[in-house]
Amino acid sequence: MECKDIRKLLSPFVDNELGAHDAFTVAEHLEVCAPCQREMEALRRFDERLRVAGQASIEGVAEVRANILALFSPWTWARRWRGVGAAAAVLLFLVVGRQLFSAPADPEATAFGEALITEMQLNTAQPFSLAWLDPHSTQDVLRQEGLEDLPNLGPAGFHLEGARICYPLSRVFVQLVYRSRHEEVSLFVSRRWTRPLSGVSKREGFTIVPLGLRAVFLVSKEPLENFADVRELAEEEVSALST
């Protein structure tokens, strides 16, 4: 190889990115070519200077780190939770599929359902808008509310992924998020809610399915799998409404 060919290989050579054959060829050439050897050394020296310049500490990293950590601090929910106090009722909302829908609920239920949908959408659109609780904090808050068995209410094939405190229509709820491979289900729990919803309703691609006096399932746009139990309950609800 001539010098002009070798010099095109110096860049990957100093980066240790040449294959063994080319690296050997370049090394052999450098042994006998002083100008190319000087250029390789200059390249290495400049890379080092650029590396040092680039990696020099920049100001304000601690503040940025604190801001990011604060977005998902478990204490964020705790401060909000203390201000509201204990809740009064339990509602269960699950996210399932598009198969279920029926007559609209009353205005308050409609507004409340839309607030829940907003909470669902926040899960993915703004995951830090409300803090996720770590497992220990989740158990604490559920125990505090006498709801420690609720995480086991998730449908078969789903695992409890996380929990957070949310405020649909200014009411305090614990949102338990269950996930299977392709689906997400949220169970909204509150002891503050005293008025049962009635009727299955569908809005914005989500379907809210109230189950009995204390449980409401929220149905998502995603396809249903492994949800026979939930679907059966919802169908019973629809059947009861139609009669």
Partner 1 sequence: MRSRVSFEREAIPHLEALLRTAVRISGDRARAEDAVQETYLRAWRSFRTYQPDTNCRAWLFRILLNVLKKAAGKKRRDPLAEAEEVEGSNKVIPLFPDVEGGNRQDILAAVSHLTPEFRDVLWLVVVEGFPYKETAQMLDIPMGTVMSRLYRARRELRRWLTAPAVAAKERTPGHGM
Binding to partner 1 (CB under 8 A) within 76-95 occurs at none
Can you say whether the dihedral through the CA atoms of 37, 43, 47, 49 is positive or negative?
A: positive
C-alpha R_g of the chain: 29
Using rule CB under 8 A, residue 115 touches partner 1: no
Binding-site size for partner 1 (CB under 8 A) equals 50
> For residue 134, how far is the Cα from the chain centroid?
13
Q: Which of 114, 78, 108 is nearest to 93 (CA)?
A: 114
Q: Which is nearer to partner 1, 32 or 58 (CB)?
A: 58
**Residue among 75, 79, 103, 135 that touches partner 1 (CB under 8 A):** 135
> How crowded is residue 24: how many other Cβ atoms within 10 Å of its Cβ?
11
CB of 145 to partner 1, least distance (A): 20
* Residue 30 CA to its chain's centroid (Å): 53
Nearer to partner 1, 27 or 64 (CB): 64
Q: Using CA atoms, how far apart are residues 209 and 231, in angstroms rounded to an integer?
A: 9
Q: Does 27 bind partner 1 (CB under 8 A)?
A: no
19 interacts with partner 1 by CB under 8 A: no
Sheet with 215-219, strands from edge to edge, namely 201-203, 206-211, 215-219
Query: For the chain, what is the total number of helices (H) and then of strands (E)?
Result: 8, 7
3-class secondary-structure state, position 234: helix
> What distance in Å separates the CA atoms of residue 210 and residue 91, rounded to the nearest whole number?
9
Stretch that binds partner 1, among 36-44, 83-91, 109-117, 168-176 (CB under 8 A): 36-44
Name which position in 1, 24, 28, 38 contacts partner 1 (CB under 8 A): 38
d(CA 34, CA 41): 10
Selected from 22, 23, 25, 39, the binder of partner 1 by CB under 8 A is 39
Residue that has been written with the tokens 């709820």 in this structure: 173
Based on CB atoms, which residue is closest to partner 1, 135 or 205? Answer: 135
Nearer to partner 1 among residue 127 and residue 196 (C-beta): 127
Q: Which of residues 56-75 bind partner 1 (CB under 8 A)?
A: 56-58, 60-61, 64-65, 67-69, 71-72, 74
Please report, as ranges, the residues that interact with partner 1 according to CB under 8 A: 2-4, 7-8, 10-12, 15, 17, 38-39, 41-43, 45-47, 49-58, 60-61, 64-65, 67-69, 71-72, 74, 124, 126-128, 132, 134-135, 159-162, 179
